[in-house]
Amino acid sequence: MQREPTDQFHSSTENAWWSIHRGDGPIVGSAIHNGHAMRRDARALVALSDEERLREEDPFTEFIIRDLANRVVVHRSRFEVDLNRARSGAVYIEPAQAWGLTVWNGRPPPDLIEASLAVHDEYYAMLLPMLTAIERRYGHFIVLDVHSYNYRRGGPHAEPADAIDTPEINIGTYTMDRCKWAGVIDALMAALSTAKVSGRLLDVRENVAFQGRGEHTRFIHEHFPETGCALAIEFKKTFMDEWTGKPDLEALRSLRALVGSLVPTLTEALVRQQ
């Protein structure tokens, strides 16, 4: 029986770091902020409620990429360790690192910080050979680095952020050679812009709400400058209520189908790239 997105928080334990799925093809999905779990020692010191943490995590991004044969899903919360930050800032210490939130009841001890940073080290130690194997098999690859973002930060009853500044899908390309990968980016944006979700066309733009400056895409482009195209894809949280965490199942199923449908288009764009 096919799992629904609402079961995502029941599929991992505090000991699970991430899940890896390998299959055919050069298209890879990642959901590195999907996780909500925390180690017991970190959870005991965190000052935020589960609801406050969930609001800044990227729930249901695992569901959106679930039809990709190659994918990595992280189960740990970004409030334990943020894999999209450089190692030096991967554990939030000051509120300025975490949207103004006070994350901890007092400064976390050095051994807790080091235990969290060990997860950061191990993640990138795992990612490099995984992508190297895909490169060896296919010559080139694309990583769809999937995230989501809030647009109702004023509160559950406040006006949403202006749509001018918050596209429904934001493609971040800052860390890549934009000219080299223009064919892939254009193919992706064309496919997304002509798709319909809930009966309407999507607002898809590049480097508006976010520029794709995270550690994940930076690492990939540093290590695979000629063969790896990593695209930071931010979905506006129109597929859920960002204050209650309740998902819109129809919208999520549509986004999952949309991402799965990109595989032939992106694979063809890679072939033309070569």
Q: What is the dihedral of CA 66, 31, 226, 137, to 10 degrees?
A: -40
Predicted local confidence at residue 8, as pLDDT: 53
Mean pLDDT value of segment 98-121? 97
Q: In this model, does residue 273 exceed pLDDT 50?
A: yes
Using pLDDT thresholds of 50, 70 and 90, give the confidence band for residue 227: very high
pLDDT at 40 (0 to 100): 95
pLDDT band at 174 (very low <50, low <70, confident <90, very high): very high
Q: Which residues contact 10 (CB under 8 A, 6 or more apart)?
A: none
Q: Categorize the per-residue pLDDT at 13 as very low, low, confident or very high, splitting at 50, 70 and 90.
A: low
pLDDT at 44 over 90: yes
Count of C-beta atoms within a 10 Å radius of residue 99: 12
In the chain, the percentage of residues whose pLDDT exceeds 90 is 91
**Amino acid at position 117, single letter:** L
62-66 mean pLDDT: 98
Regarding predicted confidence, which is higher, 73 or 272? Answer: 73
pLDDT tens digits, residue range 179-210?
999 999 999 999 999 988 878 899 999 999 99
In a 3-state reduction of DSSP, which class is residue 66? Answer: coil
Which residue ranges form the domains of the chain, and what is each CATH number?
A: 7-273 (3.40.630.40)
User: How much is the pLDDT for 197?
Assistant: 85
Q: Distance between alpha carbon 43 and the CA centroid of its chain, in Å?
A: 22
- Give the β-pairing of 18-21 and 196-197: unpaired
pLDDT band at 168 (very low <50, low <70, confident <90, very high): very high
CA 216 vs. chain centroid, Å, equals: 9
DSSP secondary structure of 173-196: -TTS-TTTTHHHHHHHHHHHHT-E
Average pLDDT, the chain: 94
10 has pLDDT over 50: no
59: pLDDT confidence band, cut at 50, 70 and 90? very high
**Average pLDDT rounded to a whole number, residues 52-70:** 98
Mean pLDDT, residues 141-159 taken together: 96
